[in-house]
Structure formats: structure tokens, C-alpha cells
Amino acid sequence: MQWFPAAQWLKGYNRSLFTADIIAAIIVTIMLIPQSLAYAMLAGVPPEIGLYASVLPLVAYALFGTSRTLSVGPVAVVSLMTASAVGEAVAKTGADYHQAAILLALLSAVMLIGMGLLRFGFLANFLSHPVVSGFISASGIIIALSQLKHILGVSAQGETLIELTESLWANIMGTNMPTLSIGLFALVFLAWCRAFLGSSLVRLGCSKDLAATLTKTAPVVSIAATIALAYGLDLADQGVSIVGAVPSGLPSLSLPALDWRVIEELWPAALLISIIGYVESISVGRTLGAKRRQRVHPDQELIGLGASNLASALSSGFPVTGGFSRSVVNFDAGAQTPAASIMTAIGIALAAMFLTPVLFFLPKATLAATIIVAVISLVDLSLLKRAWDYSKRDGLALAGTIVITLLAGVEVGVVTGVSLSIFLHLYHTSRPHVAIVGEVPGTQHFRNINRHQVITAPTICSIRIDESLYFPNAAYLEDVVYTEVAKNSELKHVVLMCSAINVIDLSALEALEMINERLTELDIGFHLSEVKGPVMDALVRSHLLQALNGSVYLSQHEAFTQLQTQSEV
């Protein structure tokens, strides 16, 4: 594990890298300022906190992370999880909301750094793609729905699809028309820019790179336009909710007070946020790294993200992680090293110091429109059909995660998704594919008798199990063997073909010993073939090989040939 990955890219840093990085930093800064403000509102904290969470965390990741182009900061899903967790903790303990959000970032930092030190990078493997995709799609729907109250200018509460829908419907008659007008304007403008501005600019003669860059400025343009409208038309006096006074400058560095009652309420959510954020971050980092043949180290990524969250907590921020959209923009803009993130942090710090007075008249509906347009791209319900057509198990995990997240909330949704994936995996492996095999004529290959024309012998039953043997399927293997024995009165030998078996645990070992005892009583030989080296090493340490009434063969062909000869004698 590299404790200070920045040392690698700092050694060869030169003017050409600096030029590429600063161009990328300017583009990402323009995009991040409105995003940071919007995601702060989504997390339930003042808008300037989004700017704070986009300064030091970027620097910390640049020093301790391993991806050259990953951009860290507030993201939609983690902001939603923050709002859910902190809101519940504050309701139960009466703690200050902002201080609880800072404490949540600190808890996440401790957990991520701890997991990194313990080399728990493999945790990403326990969240399957269907679960993550389902969770993100459902979260995108909830986030978009939660922001409609700002578009309509009404009060609405809730963390689930039903609660939000009922609350919005109950208050829809109080819609503020000026707010709705501003919100729809921003929403339509941003959606049009995302879908059509780039191609329109290319048709007008712009280069693709320039068109893409100009498209990224759309949120800034919408903010500037709606601020001008709100100021010029006195929309605040007409009931349009605006951001109001935003403090200038940067926060002093400090840690939140450790309130153990609040910690008890927040730690489960902090763990989920850490894991979800890590999975999203490592996925983006690996994808972008592969495009440039750069390696991302999972364990060090935990350290890097932990350092980012610690930096966020120190600077009055909330939980952060690597974001997909900002990282892709950073990559496409030509960033070569993490120095681009440090330059972006400087740009956002300057904005926090000098531009915040301009935000006074910014309508909250504009920030809500920014969030909605950003998260709509996260929703991919078409994956449901693709997953179901390919694998019913993955389809169920995906559908279950979406439904539970929509109906019960984000925390319950992700826990249910993981639990459902584990349960379906255990169920699937508890009834593994088992084939009775025979020899393909003219070869030494053995294939399923139901799929191929093969050579078999009435005195020999060759069973291939296509799964490792462990506690969920140990009894199933016994049932398969005993069923085949009962079907054939001429049977003299049973050969277990182990080519697909990577592990045999203690429960499965006891099942094999029981099979051997039962077949010995029936005067039927029990044999193993094609046992892999690590599996054989484990069997040598057991009693099975000494008690085995048959033999262990190097290949299934050897077993079939020798046993057939013995049966004919």
C-alpha cells in the first residue's frame, strides 16, 4: 500500500502537465460551484457548506488517493443519505443539525481510514452491480421528487416515495406561481443544454471540445440569469424562496464536539455512507484509470477517501466521496494529475471568499432544478429488463433494491439489497448445477449426457458438480448421489468429477465422508477425479482420503477407462 501516492506524480511534474491540469481545473470549478451549493441544500445544510466541502477534501484526496483524475466532493446520493441520517438523529437527540452533519463526516473518515489500515478494500466486492444500480436509480427518483417542493414553492416532507408524494399532493394547491416559473425555466434550460446545446454548437462551427466545455457552464448561466430575475423583479417579495445572506470567507479548522448520544444514532448511517461512497468512488476510479492504463489501489483508496472526509469534518463540511459526473468532466477536460483537484480547490476557495455576496438573490428553485437534471441521469430503469432477461437472480436483487429503497428509504434499501443479494447467492449455490457426464467419442472430454452424444457405462456414474462444496449445498450433493444410486441397480462405481470445485468446507467434507460410508455399505466404489491442488492440500489434512473406498484420479478419462476395465473383469 502506498502511504503517500502524491510522491509518484509530484516527481515528474512539469509545465505541460501544469497547463493541462489548470485548464481542467477551471472547467471543473465552473461546474462544481453550482453543484456544491445544490448538494448542500439536498443535505439540509447552508449552501456555503457545500463550498467548504469542496475545498480541503479535494486537496486531501490529491495527496492520499491513487486515482489521477477522480474528483472528490459532495455527491447526490451521499447528500441524500446525509439528510436522512442527520434528520433522524437530530429528531431523537435535539442536536444541532450542522454539527451532526460534521460529526457524520468525521465518523465516516474514521471508518474509512480504519478499513484502509485493515486492508478491507475487498468490501467493494460485496455490493453487486444490480444492488448498486438499483439503489442509485431509486435514490435518483427520491432526490428528484424531494426537490419538487422547491420548484413548486411549497412545504413537503418525507424520505420515501409514498411520503413525498402524499406530502406534495397535500400542499400542491399552495404552489407559488413565480417560484414555479423560475423553477421550470431553470429546469427546461438545463435539460435542453444537456441534451442539445453541445450538438447545436458543433453544427454552428464550434469544436467538440469547446462545445462540451460551454455545455458544462449551463448551471452557472442559469444561476446568473435567475439571480438577475429575482433581483430585478423583486421575486423575494412575491414569495420566491432565495438563498439569502451567504457568509464570505473560509471556516476555521476545528472538529465537532463528540456527543455520544448523537454518535449512537449516526454510526450505522456513517458505515453505509462509507461503503456506498467507497463503492461509487472505486468504480469511477477504476473506469477512468483503465482508459489511461493507470492502476487504482483499493486499500489506499479507503485511506484517500477517509482523509477527504476528515478534511471535510475539519472544515465544517459533510460526508464526501468521488463523484461520477465531476470525475468524468475532470478526465475529459484533460486533467493529468491530482494537481488539477488542488487547483480546483483553490478556485472554489476563492469563490467562497469573494463571490458569495452575489448569491443572496439566488432562488432555491434554481438549485433544485440543478439537482433534478443532475440526478435524472442516474436513473436507469431499463436495466431491470436487461437484468431479468439475463439472470433472474440479478433481476430480483435489482427490483428488490429499487422497490424497498423507494418505499422504505435509502438506508433500509441498501441493507435490503445487500441482504437479498447474499440470500439469492446462497440459495443459488445451495442447489448448484449438477451434470451426469459421459465421454465424447474420440476424445478424452466429458460432457453432460443431456446435451451431447456421449459414451457411458451402466456400472459407472460420473457426476460433475459445477460449484464449490460448502455448507448450503452439502446436503444437496448427498441427495444427488443417493438418487443416482437408487436409479441404477447395476451401479458399481460413483465418480465425483471435481474440476469446478475450488473449495470444500468442513460441512461438505462431512457430507463426502457420509457418502463414502453409505456407498461402502452398498459395496459401491466412491472415487474422485480432477481434484485441484489447493483442494487436495486440504483433503490431505482430513480423514477422507484414508477412509475413501475408491481412488483419486488425475483425470476423468483415466477414472472412466480404469473403472470400466475393472467392471468388465
Measured distance CA(168)–CA(141) in Å, rounded: 14
Question: Cα angle vertex 140, ends 134, 141, to 5°?
Answer: 95
CA distance 269 to 345: 27
| Residue 387 in this model has a pLDDT that exceeds 60 | yes
> Is 443 in the same domain as 361?
no
Whether residue 489 is contained in a domain is answered as yes
pLDDT for 1 beyond 70: no
Helices of type H across 44-128: 47-52, 56-64, 76-93, 97-117
Q: Are residues 467 and 328 in the same domain?
A: no
- The model's pLDDT over 21-52, given as tens digits with 9 standing for 90+, comes to 898 888 888 888 888 999 999 999 999 999 99
- What was the pLDDT predicted at 257? 86
Check pLDDT > 70 for residue 569.
no
Q: Examine the fold and report which residue of 341, 358, 377 is the final residue of a domain before the chain moves on.
A: 377
C-alpha distance from residue 324 to each of 43, 168, 307, 519, 562 (Å)? 18, 30, 19, 58, 59
Looking at the DSSP bridge assignments, the partners of residue 469 are 504
In tens, the pLDDT along 446-470 reads 999 999 999 999 999 999 999 999 9
Residues 369 and 438 in one domain: no
Same domain, 304 and 164: yes
Average pLDDT over residues 60-81: 91
pLDDT at site 451:
93
Residue 324 in domain: yes
pLDDT digits (tens, 9 = 90+) for 207-236: 887 887 778 788 889 999 999 999 999 999
Chain mean position to CA 197: 30
341, 477: one domain: no
* Alpha carbons 218 and 254: distance in angstroms, whole number: 35
Per-residue model confidence as pLDDT tens digits over 238-277: 999 998 888 888 999 998 888 999 999 999 999 999 988 8
Task: With beta carbons less than 8 A apart as the criterion, state whether 341 and 61 touch.
Answer: yes
Cα 398 off chain centre by: 13
Residue 309 is assigned to a structural domain of this protein: yes
Rounded to whole angstroms, how far apart are CA atoms 413 and 143?
A: 14
In a domain, 234, yes or no: yes
**172 and 107 in a common domain:** yes
Cβ-based neighbours of 496, under 8 Å, separated by 6 or more: 463, 465, 481, 512, 526, 527, 528, 529
Q: pLDDT tens digit string along 282-327?
A: 888 887 887 777 788 888 999 999 999 999 999 999 999 998 778 8
353 and 438 fall within a common domain: no
259 by Cβ neighbours in 10 Å (0-12 / 13-18 / 19+) ranks as: middle
Q: Average pLDDT of 155-180?
A: 91
- Please enumerate in sequence order all residues whose Cβ is within 8 A of that of 333, keeping only pairs 6 or more positions apart, or say none: 23, 24, 27, 28, 213
Return the CATH number at 500.
3.30.750.24
CA–CA dist 136, 405 (Å, integer): 9
Cβ(437)–Cβ(556) below 8 Å: yes
Whether residue 438 sits in one domain with residue 306: no
Query: Which cell is 237 given?
Result: 417579495
Domain-located, residue 426:
no
**296 vs 63, 277, 293, 326, CA distance in Å?**
14, 16, 10, 18
Same domain, 236 and 312: yes
Residue 422 lies in a domain: no
Whole-prediction pTM: 0.81
pLDDT at 568 over 70: no
Q: What are the residue ranges of helices labelled H in 459-505?
A: 474-487
Cell digits of residue 377: 441521469
Tell me if 473 sits within 8 A of 439, measured CB to CB. no
Closest listed residue to residue 283, CA positions, set 127, 415, 139, 115: 127
Which of 389, 400, 499 is closest to 444 using CA atoms? 499
Q: Is residue 8 part of a domain?
A: no
Please give the residue range of the domain that contains residue 475.
Answer: 434-568
For cell 510522491, the residue is 7
Q: Are residues 446 and 351 in the same domain?
A: no
In terms of average pLDDT, the best of 80-84, 155-159, 190-194, 525-529 is: 525-529
As for how many domains the chain has, the answer is 2
- Residue 446, beta-bridge partner list: 439
Place of cell 441404477: 488
**Quick one: 202 and 272 in the same domain?**
yes
CB 438 within 8 A of CB 173: no
Closest by alpha carbon to 548, among 503, 504, 511, 516?
516
Nine-digit cell string for 534: 489447493
Q: Residue 311 and residue 25: Cα distance in Å, rounded?
A: 20
- pLDDT > 70: percent of the chain: 99
319 and 464 within one domain:
no
Residue 410 falls within a domain, yes or no?
no
The reported pLDDT for the residue numbered 74 is: 93
Q: What is the pLDDT of residue 115?
A: 93
